[in-house]
Chains A and B, each alone.
Chain A
Amino acid sequence: MVMEKPQPWLMRLPPSTAHEWRRSIDHPQNPQHIQPPRTNQRVQKDPEACLHKRRLPDPNTAPPEPDKIKGRETEKRRTVTPNPQRRVLTTRGTTAPSEGTRRCTTGYSGVHNKIEKYTHTKKKKKKKKKTIQIHNAMGLGFLASRTIRPASRLLQSHNSNFFLRTIVSKPELQSPESAAVSEPEPPTQILPPRNPVGGARVHFSNPEDAIEVFVDGYAVKVPKGFTVLQACEVAGVDIPRFCYHSRLSIAGNCRMCLVEVEKSPKPVASCAMPALPGMKIKTDTPIAKKAREGVMEFLLMNHPLDCPICDQGGECDLQDQSMAFGSDRGRFTEMKRSVVDKNLGPLVKTVMTRCIQCTRCVRFASEVAGVQDLGILGRGSGEEIGTYVEKLMTSELSGNVIDICPVGALTSKPFAFKARNWELKATETIDVSDAVGSNIRVDSRGPEVMRIIPRLNEDINEEWISDKTRFCYDGLKRQRLSDPMIRDSDGRFKAVSWRDALAVVGDIIHQVKPDEIVGVAGQLSDAESMMVLKDFVNRMGSDNVWCEGTAAGVDADLRYSYLMNTSISGLENADLFLLIGTQPRVEAAMVNARICKTVRASNAKVGYVGPPAEFNYDCKHLGTGPDTLKEIAEGRHPFCAALKNAKNPAIIVGAGLFNRTDKNAILSSVESIAQANNVVRPDWNGLNFLLQYAAQAAALDLGLIQQSAKALESAKFVYLMGADDVDVDKIPKDAFVVYQGHHGDKAVYRANVILPASAFTEKEGTYENTEGFTQQTVPAVPTVGDARDDWKIVRALSEVSGVKLPYNSIEGVRSRIKSVAPNLVHTDEREPAAFGPSLKPECKETMGTTPFQAVVENFYMTNSITRASKIMAQCSAVLLKK
């Protein structure tokens, strides 16, 4: 048997089973090797007879022309708006390429199964196929990537490159001269079309600069700066990796992504190697497979046997990749090392023994979160990830390291030991804790929400969510209103039936004058319920219905005056930010993450006007109040020079300024700044308003504005639909207050009648985020007790009160919304503002002198759900900077 010199980096495990023998380098179906004599095989001895199993290509037919080969469609331009739910593969830069959440480990199972088919053993071993939970994270593209991997297809394809080897050894193969003779050209074959992994779309920033590489014989066109791993992703090949993450910088320290590149002396780390034109990349050769087995063996050497008690079991990258790519036995007989656990706060549970030192968390904390809390200490097997000093992770994005960590080293502390991932039902919905509308996936078990995970949306939140979004779910279980209640004469609440409660409210509403009826929608209300509330209050003859957060005098005529006109993803193209009266870190953490990304990628300048606040990027504090604004508007401030030189300036005004009395003057001065510095142009609109609440944008679109400031004080009938931030003291003592909501928060104590409603995880509602992107929540768990949907309660109340509204189904409500604000019916679409600031009339008021106030004191407790949450209480006690 001819053996070549064993390469030192290829660890040859002694083939212990026939299955292993198949995968090792000496197997006959692996090319270029001669098979030693074998005893137990079913292969027929007659070499000619074996050929019937493989149909060789007919030499008489010509190979098909290249242009008929489908699949080279990576350059096809899309004419429709790109779907933000699909990942974008771009070269590294401001728009970093994306990867699905790490739970999407798809093609691995295919390899394992196909290899099984070719074992020649006497007894058929029953290998259990590892079922990998299909998470509905990626949509249909997911299914596309589960097609048979090309490696296996080659093995069973009928017109194979590799002719079937017979048992007999030929003299030509033994002599060295024949090796120099080049192989005959394999006939060109029609390779089936390949889609990028996970249905991602490839973004060519410079279409002339595309290069062509070959992945497993398949030619793909990739943009210039792509790495080998990204090129393989475009070709539909999912290369295993631990340390590489598409949104973080490249580390290249796990070595799991090793692939073989032709004419390279050793396998290359595909995550770090740039793809050069004409490169031939092979991902399924024995060298690559051996490398993966080796890396896996090394990683598992010091990894504790924690799978039964580890929360990551079932969704662990290490588990999946070791099943797919690792060998089935190890050779480690010494003691495993262990590492002391670090305390990172009440949110992130650390078991550092499980850490494989991939440094994803370190890179995330320093790049995306902007805090350099984590680092690697020590070298070699003594490496530890930690904060070195006894420091907690106080960043508002700290929960994302839980998703990023490929093993169970960093897990969610509130979710520890609560559930396994296969018993959870995933529902894709929208978060309402702030105005960003991050896409989330709610994992529930029965009637209980177990955890919240981010979902990919390139335009809004990429793959991250803030801590408040992630951990507020346990507030959904406490302080819930479940039965209608009426306050007795002795002041205590008594549970009644819906009939009685609605009858009482319907009676009282007719005893007050129309002008004294006031309706206030809360910050978590969906568009449907706000529409029905407005219709009902209007039919009762009153015009006083508004949403929390919009003070009197805010007009919603022009949409640009309350939306983020540069979309959230458009902020990446800005090179200067002027933040006025807003602290994005606590108001909208995802917008802050985007600003941080832009600052980091292109060194954008940030100027901030407002009370002293913490920023996780370099930011110049220009001033605290309207005086600074006046200086900038008149050009006296030193920051104006930077403003003039910026190509794409972005001004972000906080919605907290809407509550000021001099709001019109401030807004007009902001607009004059915008005009002077060419901020609003046809191709770039940099004037943005950052809203505070999830319901605000939809409310302003539907027309729920406060007409008069004194409406609440002269009210006799107040209908609070989830409105907890209303100043309860302003309501007169003899007013009849109806509270409709899901938590017994502040306003309930003033209410006379309580009507229980459903929370955002239990209803299907339309929410518009601060950039005008309309999204819908999906019910994940059933409603609590006797609660109903908000809009249904108001519709039933209208019927009991005698002013029956003309619709009685959600479609009816939506067609009503369509006649008022049609953009709210077009879900998953962003409707930009139609007109710019030029239409606004001149403002004659003068600005006050009170400095801008911080809008959010406690980041962790801003709405009724978070105030009822124990985790949020722990966070605010421990993690807030005093």
Chain B
Amino acid sequence: MAAPFTLRKIGVPPNSANLTEARRRVFDFFRAACRSIPTIMDIYNLQDIVAPSQLRYAISAQIRNNAHITDPKVIDLLIFKGMEELTDIVDHAKQRHHIIGQYVVGEGLVQNTGNKDQGKTDFLKNFYTSNYF
């Protein structure tokens, strides 16, 4: 299914020259995502579950998770993947339970795990992830 025309022009050619351009692309992506929120709520019937501001919060949290990255190429790739995900959602290629499970922040659902590990050493972070580091 074709993506709506709002999304067409945000296709990311993978060649941001510098960090500023990458930042601009990130914000463009965020704007496009926020503009598609009403469509998403309509497609998946999320009106009673979640408010648009919560969805915006979820998107911005995910972007903020990668706020520490400085390499433009990496940022480009992340935006590409974000666009992929957004296109999938808007195309109705996902289903309601996916959206609820992945993006609706509530009890027992997606939690913001970015803050817990701030003060810990690399050793502990690696230890929690896996045995091999």
A residues at B contact (CB < 8 Å)? 497-499, 758, 783, 787-789, 792, 795-796, 799-800, 804, 808
Q: Given A788, A795, A800, A804, which contacts B131 in the complex, CB threshold below 8 Å?
A: A788
Residue of B nearest to A758 (CB): B131
Instruction: Tell me whether B123 and A799 are in contact (CB under 8 A).
Output: yes
**Which residues of A are found within 8 Å of B124, using beta-carbon distances?**
796, 799-800
A-B CB contact pairs (8 Å), 24 listed: A497-B128, A498-B127, A499-B116, A499-B128, A758-B131, A787-B131, A788-B127, A788-B131, A789-B131, A792-B131, A795-B123, A795-B127, A796-B123, A796-B124, A796-B127, A799-B120, A799-B121, A799-B123, A799-B124, A800-B124, A804-B121, A808-B121, A808-B122, A808-B123
**Which residues of A are found within 8 Å of B122, using beta-carbon distances?**
808
Interface string of B84-122 (1 = CB under 8 A from A): 000000000000000000000000000000001000111
The answer for the CA separation of A808 and B124 in the assembled complex, in Å, is 9
Residue of B nearest to A787 (CB): B131
How far does the Cβ of B129 sit from chain A's closest Cβ, in whole Å? 9
The answer for the CA separation of A84 and B131 in the assembled complex, in Å, is 33
The answer for the CA separation of A672 and B122 in the assembled complex, in Å, is 56
The answer for the CA separation of A787 and B131 in the assembled complex, in Å, is 7
How far does the Cβ of B15 sit from chain A's closest Cβ, in whole Å? 39
**Which residues of A are found within 8 Å of B123, using beta-carbon distances?**
795-796, 799, 808
Instruction: Tell me whether A498 and B128 are in contact (CB under 8 A).
Output: yes
**Which residues of B are found within 8 Å of A758, using beta-carbon distances?**
131
**Which residues of A are found within 8 Å of B120, using beta-carbon distances?**
799
Counting chain A CB atoms within 10 Å of each CB, which of B116, B127, B128 scores highest? B127
Residue of B nearest to A793 (CB): B127
**Which residues of B are found within 8 Å of A796, using beta-carbon distances?**
123-124, 127
How far does the Cβ of A691 sit from chain B's closest Cβ, in whole Å? 29
Residue of B nearest to A786 (CB): B131
Counting chain A CB atoms within 10 Å of each CB, which of B120, B121, B124, B131 scores highest? B131
Counting chain A CB atoms within 10 Å of each CB, which of B120, B121, B123 scores highest? B123
How far does the Cβ of B114 sit from chain A's closest Cβ, in whole Å? 14
**Which residues of A are found within 8 Å of B121, using beta-carbon distances?**
799, 804, 808
Chain B, interface SS category: helix
The answer for the CA separation of A473 and B124 in the assembled complex, in Å, is 31
The answer for the CA separation of A498 and B120 in the assembled complex, in Å, is 14
**Which residues of B are found within 8 Å of A788, using beta-carbon distances?**
127, 131
The answer for the CA separation of A800 and B123 in the assembled complex, in Å, is 11
The answer for the CA separation of A799 and B119 in the assembled complex, in Å, is 11
Q: Given B116, B127, B128, B131, which contacts A783 in the complex, CB threshold below 8 Å?
A: B131
Residue of A nearest to B122 (CB): A808
How far does the Cβ of A841 sit from chain B's closest Cβ, in whole Å? 45
The answer for the CA separation of A804 and B121 in the assembled complex, in Å, is 10
The answer for the CA separation of A794 and B66 in the assembled complex, in Å, is 31
B residues at A contact (CB < 8 Å)? 116, 120-124, 127-128, 131
How far does the Cβ of B111 sit from chain A's closest Cβ, in whole Å? 12
How far does the Cβ of A372 sit from chain B's closest Cβ, in whole Å? 49
Top 9 closest A-B pairs, CB basis? A808-B123, A796-B127, A788-B131, A783-B131, A498-B128, A799-B124, A796-B124, A792-B127, A499-B128
**Which residues of B are found within 8 Å of A808, using beta-carbon distances?**
121-123
The answer for the CA separation of A499 and B124 in the assembled complex, in Å, is 9
**Which residues of A are found within 8 Å of B127, using beta-carbon distances?**
498, 788, 792, 795-796
**Which residues of A are found within 8 Å of B116, using beta-carbon distances?**
499
How far does the Cβ of B122 sit from chain A's closest Cβ, in whole Å? 8
**Which residues of B are found within 8 Å of A789, using beta-carbon distances?**
131
Residue of B nearest to A809 (CB): B123
Residue of A nearest to B129 (CB): A498
Residue of A nearest to B121 (CB): A799
The answer for the CA separation of A489 and B116 in the assembled complex, in Å, is 27
The answer for the CA separation of A800 and B117 in the assembled complex, in Å, is 12
Residue of A nearest to B120 (CB): A799
The answer for the CA separation of A458 and B122 in the assembled complex, in Å, is 43
**Which residues of B are found within 8 Å of A795, using beta-carbon distances?**
123, 127
The answer for the CA separation of A756 and B40 in the assembled complex, in Å, is 43
Residue of B nearest to A763 (CB): B131
A758-B131, A787-B131, A808-B122 given; 20 more Cβ-contact pairs under 8 Å: A497-B128, A498-B127, A498-B128, A499-B128, A783-B131, A788-B127, A788-B131, A789-B131, A792-B127, A795-B127, A796-B123, A796-B124, A796-B127, A799-B120, A799-B121, A799-B123, A799-B124, A800-B124, A808-B121, A808-B123
The answer for the CA separation of A783 and B120 in the assembled complex, in Å, is 24
The answer for the CA separation of A788 and B129 in the assembled complex, in Å, is 10
The answer for the CA separation of A788 and B131 in the assembled complex, in Å, is 5
**Which residues of B are found within 8 Å of A783, using beta-carbon distances?**
131
**Which residues of A are found within 8 Å of B128, using beta-carbon distances?**
497-499
The answer for the CA separation of A796 and B127 in the assembled complex, in Å, is 7
How far does the Cβ of A805 sit from chain B's closest Cβ, in whole Å? 10
The answer for the CA separation of A585 and B12 in the assembled complex, in Å, is 73
How far does the Cβ of B124 sit from chain A's closest Cβ, in whole Å? 6
The answer for the CA separation of A243 and B83 in the assembled complex, in Å, is 71
The answer for the CA separation of A497 and B124 in the assembled complex, in Å, is 13
How far does the Cβ of A504 sit from chain B's closest Cβ, in whole Å? 15
**Which residues of B are found within 8 Å of A787, using beta-carbon distances?**
131
**Which residues of B are found within 8 Å of A792, using beta-carbon distances?**
127, 131
The answer for the CA separation of A779 and B101 in the assembled complex, in Å, is 38
How far does the Cβ of B29 sit from chain A's closest Cβ, in whole Å? 32
How far does the Cβ of A785 sit from chain B's closest Cβ, in whole Å? 10
The answer for the CA separation of A499 and B113 in the assembled complex, in Å, is 12
The answer for the CA separation of A796 and B124 in the assembled complex, in Å, is 6
Residue of B nearest to A805 (CB): B123
How far does the Cβ of B133 sit from chain A's closest Cβ, in whole Å? 9
The answer for the CA separation of A783 and B127 in the assembled complex, in Å, is 14
The answer for the CA separation of A792 and B126 in the assembled complex, in Å, is 10
How far does the Cβ of A498 sit from chain B's closest Cβ, in whole Å? 5
How far does the Cβ of B46 sit from chain A's closest Cβ, in whole Å? 29
The answer for the CA separation of A193 and B123 in the assembled complex, in Å, is 52
The answer for the CA separation of A442 and B116 in the assembled complex, in Å, is 41
How far does the Cβ of B130 sit from chain A's closest Cβ, in whole Å? 9
**Which residues of B are found within 8 Å of A800, using beta-carbon distances?**
124
How far does the Cβ of B49 sit from chain A's closest Cβ, in whole Å? 27
How far does the Cβ of B108 sit from chain A's closest Cβ, in whole Å? 15
How far does the Cβ of B131 sit from chain A's closest Cβ, in whole Å? 5
The answer for the CA separation of A177 and B118 in the assembled complex, in Å, is 99
The answer for the CA separation of A758 and B121 in the assembled complex, in Å, is 23
The answer for the CA separation of A799 and B116 in the assembled complex, in Å, is 15
Residue of B nearest to A785 (CB): B131
Residue of B nearest to A807 (CB): B123
Residue of A nearest to B117 (CB): A499
How far does the Cβ of A795 sit from chain B's closest Cβ, in whole Å? 7
**Which residues of A are found within 8 Å of B131, using beta-carbon distances?**
758, 783, 787-789, 792
How far does the Cβ of A816 sit from chain B's closest Cβ, in whole Å? 15
How far does the Cβ of B101 sit from chain A's closest Cβ, in whole Å? 19
Counting chain B CB atoms within 10 Å of each CB, which of A497, A800, A804, A808 scores highest? A808
The answer for the CA separation of A804 and B127 in the assembled complex, in Å, is 14
Residue of B nearest to A499 (CB): B128
The answer for the CA separation of A593 and B127 in the assembled complex, in Å, is 43
The answer for the CA separation of A557 and B120 in the assembled complex, in Å, is 39
How far does the Cβ of B132 sit from chain A's closest Cβ, in whole Å? 8
**Which residues of B are found within 8 Å of A499, using beta-carbon distances?**
116, 128
How far does the Cβ of A159 sit from chain B's closest Cβ, in whole Å? 56
The answer for the CA separation of A808 and B120 in the assembled complex, in Å, is 13
Residue of B nearest to A804 (CB): B121
The answer for the CA separation of A783 and B131 in the assembled complex, in Å, is 8
How far does the Cβ of A503 sit from chain B's closest Cβ, in whole Å? 11
